[in-house]
Chain A
């Protein structure tokens, strides 16, 4: 149900985003027409997924993973370049992005591995393999310079956390991210060094009676933070120019309204001008007149924000919240570990897309090319999200069988 509402709503918005009075919503030469085709093919996919035996997914998880990785490997050579990224494999007039499909393939692989007999999270070897599973697609997608999609796979850390991995890694990641942004915000690094030194001495002081080992951990932690600060400049200068600017713009949005800040600025203007009730379907001036770039794909949320206002935005967020919690609920009621891990992977992937996409349109996150599931225009992403979701539904439908067999 949720799926149907979202896909239809997304379709109408794509129509609105590319609206031209002379064209019908069904016209195949415009995006809304094509999206309709994608939606129809998605139904075919759904049917196929539901027909295939549930054991297929678990059995062939590694095979699917391997095949998609192979495709990713091929992309830099046979792919065609769209918008600066070489991420597409052309099939006729349509393009397919293998990186989109890597998501469910990785989810399957990770689930299979965690779900295998005798798996224990606290073994270093297992952890290494898990990071290998997400590391492979990240590396291959980075080769395509599609940083946004690569970042999606980091969300698997959250899944691993659910399955027993120490929260230490999450916290360190969070800490490093905070320090990174602070370093960009605060001109003088010495202030940060001072704070770290102060925190370190406090920690040492209160642990005086404790073991030497813990003091060592704290000291190492402090050095990691200091190292992060040092590395910021280095990493930052290694980033490509337009990425650098996108991050800087986030920190100071008024910095460059016609250049790097243009996306975010125009996007915020469009959403902000929607007001409480919105301007009405097909009435948005900012999106109609193409001030917001890529408004039918990554910035589809602008159309919603402008034309349906805050009410529409709330509805979108509520829809996604409902979807996410429903998926978590489904995952939790699975009887075997494979299905549960897979369910969490789906939830986390959706969550990452939803969170970063909306965050970037309202200027809370740097602009990275991440579509909004089911809303953004694009065949590959719609198919990939459909596959992700319906494999889970299939698994859920047969959860009782699993129990019986074991």
Chain B
């Protein structure tokens, strides 16, 4: 009667055993979740923040360094009940503020941004002074500890725009980060050199593991510290800036909007890059970052806008140098070609002129910045008679013209080692097709580009680079901000290659001579001429109806073996011969001789307020 029941019982036994095997296989081998949970339980991870690389100028002067700063971290799991009155006293908080901090913390936990097992910054950015008060008492509060990290500090307030600032990584940046290097609360370079060289500056974070038991009591290091890693400091950068020159430039730009860029032509190194108005970089560091940022960002003069690389202007008369060289290269004029200056009669009265001259050759036309002359030059350039149709002929000419002009680095970003560089505009045939909606166009429609007005757009950096190209008689090295990554290092590879223009260096020599004469006897005579050195320059005024013109000047010096090339834009300040030429020559003087011998010029510049 009981046959088979033995088997039933044995099968039940075996069945249970097999169920266990499967279940165990699933949770032990298949499911990784428990492994991570176990580590979260038993291991506290403490981040060791790396020290960010410092930035010095070309002569080794400190510009940007680090200040120690401390966060009070909380590990809720390890916190014991504590005397909150004592806590508020030690940490200098009101009871209400303490409650608020806990409220925020719990909210983060609910949002899964934090958890009770791993450290979370409870109080941020404590100073050295705060630390001294807290340090002796921190042991009274298990579950709290001090974590050291560093914030930026500035030895000089100069070059804030180009060096950029550092702040906590935003949620958007964190979501968009594909490197998985960053964690919430990390600092990241937000603009300028700090952003461009982030991967070199940031270093590598280290981590220390501690074992703790279920009551949150630390039981020593995990696996004798074998898994711990030390933080690796970021690499120091030597910038190409000359801090003295940079500070002097900012001193001169006080109260003005615009930019000054100084480049060492031979190397493409940027000696100074001033964006006016600027801001105090110390405001964007430390505790009050948020409120200060809002204030700076909402300033109507846009101090965060880096004009040297982002402001696009029409190039103005300084473009005539390029125009002349292109025409010479194409053989449509010679240095001896004379074109009558008929003053206001040109092009239906739209192009006027200035200064006492009537019938100049090329050098004279540049010296006096003669508008009708260059109107004529461009006509010869664009309408070379290669086609019977005036429309087709202009199209062919313009394409040729574009090729030459763009070889100077116009019309596209130069590729400086700074973020958000703009490229300006060199109008192409396709551009005019779009602009005219398919209707035909010819020279008489587009002649404004002859004198650097019209559709052309450049950023001040491109003009400085142009000055450097002329100084080098035919080539440029892409301007850059960083001379060396690490000690005795090199600049990044793109910043050592020479870029040659499509113009022969013989034609450059003609341009150099003309620019010398601009300063000796032409439009730059009064403000830009220096006693000890030959300065080559060209003035420009960018029409800006109905406001006053922007004043523009480019220059380099000395004529032989140029050491410095400069472009200056001063917004709303009238003719380039005045404010911009003065500033440019003062910068050259400062760089070559350490100071000016013309205090009246310096005073003139400082008096000028054009905002």
Contacts and interface: CB of A to CB of B under 8 A. Distances in A.
A321 B17 contact: yes
A291 B23 contact: no
Interface in B177-226: 211-215, 219
Nearest to A159: B9
A105 B41 CA distance: 44
Interface of B: 1-2, 5-6, 8-10, 12-14, 16-17, 19-21, 23-25, 27-29, 31, 33-35, 37-39, 41-43, 211-215, 219
B38 A332 contact: no
Contact of A289 (B17, B31, B35, B211): B211
25 contacts: A163-B2, A268-B27, A271-B27, A271-B28, A272-B28, A272-B34, A272-B38, A273-B38, A273-B39, A275-B28, A275-B29, A276-B28, A285-B211, A286-B38, A288-B42, A289-B214, A291-B41, A306-B38, A313-B21, A313-B24, A320-B17, A321-B14, A325-B10, A328-B9, A347-B9
Interface in A101-148: none
Contacts of A314: 21, 24
A25 interface: no
A272 B40 CA distance: 13
Contact of B1 (A161, A164, A324, A325): A164
A289 B5 contact: no
B29 A271 contact: no
A285 B211 CA distance: 8
Interface string A345-378: 0011001000100110010100000000000000
Contacts of B219: 289
A359 B15 CA distance: 13
A344 B42 CA distance: 44
A317 interface: yes
Top-9 shortest CB links A-B: A272-B34, A273-B38, A285-B42, A289-B213, A272-B27, A310-B28, A291-B214, A269-B37, A321-B17
A16 B19 CA distance: 27
A384 B5 CA distance: 27
Contacts of A286: 38, 41-42
Nearest to A351: B13
A273 B1 CA distance: 48
Nearest to A364: B23
Contacts of A275: 28-29, 35
Given A158-B9, A158-B12, 14 more contacts: A162-B5, A162-B9, A271-B34, A272-B31, A272-B35, A272-B38, A273-B34, A273-B35, A276-B28, A285-B39, A289-B213, A310-B24, A310-B29, A364-B23
Contacts of B38: 269-270, 272-273, 285-286, 306
A144 to B, nearest CB: 28
Contact of A324 (B13, B27, B28, B41): B13
A165 to B, nearest CB: 10
Contacts of B23: 362, 364
Nearest to B6: A332
Contacts of A358: 20
Contacts of B19: 364
Contacts of A347: 9, 13
A272 B1 contact: no
B19 to A, nearest CB: 8
B28 A274 contact: yes
A390 B590 CA distance: 104
Contact of A162 (B2, B20, B24, B37): B2
B24 to A, nearest CB: 5
Interface in A303-347: 305-306, 309-310, 313-314, 317-318, 320-321, 324-325, 328, 332, 344, 347
Nearest to B38: A273
Contacts of B27: 268, 271-272, 362
A94 B318 CA distance: 102
Nearest to B5: A162
A305 B12 CA distance: 23
Contacts of A324: 13
A55 interface: no
B211 A355 contact: no
